[in-house]
Chain A
């Protein structure tokens, strides 16, 4: 090639500087990315190691993989994963059932004191949960809900509802007002307006909201640890119970942690497209 096409571009040193800035940021991005990913990789690798090879320093990357730890995990996880599934799915469904009408009343046809309502919902998240664990315990005890899956469903619903209302409300605000007016003229009442117009439009937003609720409920430890023992113990508690009083346990813990993270990653991966669309809903015309 001749030098001709280059002539119209910027002079050499300037281009070189631009390139090196680009490459520099690229390296930073990779370093940060790897820093986040390495512990996960270490966890997954360790899960396949025999207990004796797990606690070496420096970590060994060559070993004969074994499924022994997973076998151990799967032999004991039954009740825990069932409880987690019930609490997570149950609370997420409840959050959506309650959050959608609440968000509607705070956005599309705002009620009189909608600002106060909105603030009230978010204010419930300001108190550290440690501060209320005492009263919660007493209430659970008196209502005979201690160590019951219903208690976790109620608490996880309460925990996720404020955030969900704020999220769903912001999605509903994105629904063009002309669309709502058109449905009003077409004779749709409040219910039809919701089911035929609003919900279809915000469905990607609902999916991302549900996903966030699932993640939070699935990973919740503090409430489960303090208010359940066996009848409602969840996956995070299973992880803790994988730590024995004595002996080696790193490989076993890694296997349990890997198993515990798979559902969330799976759901997130499936919902990826909806998630991106949901969290960037303003861009949709």
Chain B
């Protein structure tokens, strides 16, 4: 087992363009499940490939354990990777696929077979599947074989590059929990790349949010949700996304839809120190509480998405052009066209700098 450390790791694909990964500093603890999440082009896959040794570094270094592996060959890094398209060798059987790395390490045949069988058992792969070619397997089975190929090696670190993106929605949710559970059982340090924030939130011990090649925030899922450091993290984490509205500052708070929403003193001080006249207000959908006419925010329901257990209301607030989304109980949601009012707790409101996107807080 080992910890992983990125120290100002940088990768520039073409000179003169912004780095794909820009001075990344990240510590992954021993045995931790770390998720790198971000939109496409955020540098998350590049960061993973730098750790794998498939991408050279243009600056900084990468450590596994206490060893600097920046210029170490991929095969000598003691890692195993699960690829997005599984990358199973099409002409080899499942057993040969899983045992290939061991064969390359000249592990004797009986030992190899034993470890392949062990891994197959761990992943609920039938023995009869071991003699099949990947083509004869279903998507979910291929995914498990790819996992098996990594497990058989008993590496210090697992690297996973969007391993669930080729599965259908239901299987993805199932496999998601299986992988998380398996990782906990094996206790192997894991770096997992995904663009899906739900996967990130449900699987990771900690989640590193990347955007534009830069690390935005690295913390536990709970902390990311409750205390995003900037507008990007706030908008990226959470589904449906946080409602973000640019609103003018007034005495004691901000003006939204004709009413004043009070802000904590610390936020107001920070805003005035920055010389701001407006800021970006963030409210999570579940923090817009329906108030039966007694609330301060009024608006008209445009669309109702009924999810069964709850319903998402798309509402145009009075005097605003953008819509906001509110999560309400699913039983009796208001109908489209209906006037509604919302109550908001001042503590549930986030404020961000309109230019830099940084969180405004005391």
Tell me the chain B residues, 66-88 only, with Cβ under 8 Å from chain A: 74-75, 79-81, 83-85, 87
Interface residues in A33-68 by Cβ distance below 8 A to B read none
Q: Are B89 and A185 in contact (CB under 8 A)?
A: no
Contact with B along A167-187 (1 / 0, CB 8 A): 000000000101101111111
Is B250 engaged at the interface, CB distance under 8 Å to the other chain?
Answer: no
**CB <8 Å contact, A176 and B87:** yes
The one of B53, B54, B80, B89 in contact with A197, judged by C-beta atoms closer than 8 angstroms, is B89
Q: A179-B89, A181-B54, A184-B74 are in contact. Are A196 and B100 (CB under 8 A)?
A: yes
Which A residues lie within 8 Å of B105 (CB)? 187
- Known contacts A200-B89, A201-B91; decide if A186 and B83 are in contact (CB<8 Å): no
A182–B87 CB distance below 8 A? yes
Q: Which of A184, A187, A196, A203 contacts B89 (CB 8 A)?
A: A196
**A186 touching B104 by the CB < 8 A rule?**
yes
Binary A-proximity of B90-112 (CB < 8 A = 1, otherwise 0): 11100000001100110000000
Identify which of B75, B91, B92, B149 contacts A187 (C-beta below 8 A). Answer: B75
Knowing A185-B74, A186-B100, A187-B105 touch, does A178 contact B85 (C-beta < 8 A)?
yes
**Is B207 interfacial (CB 8 A cutoff)?**
no
Known A178-B83, A181-B83, A182-B83; judge A188-B104 contact (CB<8 A). yes
Residues of A within 8 A of B101 (CB): 185-187
| A188 to B105 Cα, complex, angstroms | 9
Q: Is the interface of A mostly helix, strand, loop or mixed?
A: helix
CB distance from A114 to the nearest CB of B (A): 19
What residues on A are CB-neighbors of B218 within 8 Å?
A: none
The residues of B that contact A188 with a CB separation of less than 8 Å are 75, 100, 104
> Which residue of chain B lies nearest to A179 when distances are taken between CB atoms in the complex?
B87
A192 within 8 A of B: yes
Question: For residue B52, which residues in chain A have a CB less than 8 angstroms away from its CB?
Answer: 181, 185
**Which residues in chain B, 177-194, are within 8 Å of chain A measured between CB atoms?**
none
A171 to chain B, nearest CB (A): 14
> Would you give the shortest CB distance from B55 to chain A, in whole angstroms?
10
Q: Which of chain A's residues has its CB closest to B99's CB?
A: A186
User: Once the chains bind, are A184 and B83 in contact (CB under 8 Å)?
Assistant: no
B87 engages A184 (CB within 8 Å):
no
A273 to chain B: closest CB distance in Å?
A: 16
Q: Chain B, interface size: which category?
A: 20 to 34
Give chain A nearest CB distance to B346 CB in angstroms: 50
Say whether B75 contacts A186, CB under 8 Å: yes
A277 → chain B, closest Cβ, in Å?
A: 13
B100 neighbours in A (Cβ, 8 Å): 183, 186, 188, 196
**Contact: B54 with A184, CB < 8 Å?**
yes
Distance in angstroms between the alpha carbons of A179 and B86 in the assembled complex: 9
| A185→B80 contact, CB < 8 A | yes
- Smallest Cβ-Cβ distance to B159: which chain A residue: A185
1/0 per residue B130-153: CB within 8 Å of A? 000000000000000000010000
A268 CB to nearest chain B CB (Å): 24
Question: Could you tell me the distance in whole angstroms from the C-beta of B106 to the nearest C-beta in chain A?
Answer: 10
Question: A residues within 8 A CB of B149?
Answer: 186
Most chain-A Cβ atoms within 10 A of its Cβ — which of B79, B80, B101?
Answer: B101
Name the B residues within 8 Å of A186 (CB-CB). Answer: 75, 100-101, 104, 149
Which residue from chain A places its CB closest to the CB of B75 in the assembled complex?
A187
What is the bound-complex CA distance between A185 and B104, given in angstroms?
A: 10
CB contacts (< 8 Å) of B89 on chain A: these are 179, 182-183, 196-197, 200
A199 nearest CB neighbor, chain B only: B91
How many whole Å from A25's CB to the nearest CB in chain B? 36
Q: Which residue of B lies closest to A197 (CB)?
A: B89
Assembly CA distance A179 to B81 (angstroms): 12
Residues of B within 8 A of A203 (CB): 91
CB-contacts of B31-76 with A (<8 A): 52-54, 74-75
Residue contact B87 to A187, C-beta cutoff 8 Å:
no
User: What residues of A have a CB within 8 angstroms of the CB of B84 in the complex?
Assistant: 178
Least distance between A249 CB and chain B CB atoms (Å)? 51
Q: List 24 A-B contacts (CB under 8 A).
A: A178-B83, A178-B84, A178-B85, A178-B87, A181-B52, A181-B54, A182-B89, A185-B54, A185-B74, A185-B75, A185-B80, A185-B81, A185-B101, A186-B75, A186-B100, A186-B101, A186-B104, A187-B75, A187-B101, A192-B104, A196-B92, A197-B89, A200-B91, A201-B91
Chain A residues engaging chain B, CB cutoff 8 angstroms: 176, 178-179, 181-188, 192, 196-197, 200-201, 203
Interface residues of B (CB under 8 A from A): 52-54, 74-75, 79-81, 83-85, 87, 89-92, 100-101, 104-105, 149
**Apart from the given pairs A182-B89, A185-B52, A201-B91, 9 other A-B contacts in the complex at a CB distance below 8 Å:** A178-B84, A178-B87, A179-B89, A182-B87, A184-B74, A185-B81, A185-B101, A192-B104, A196-B100
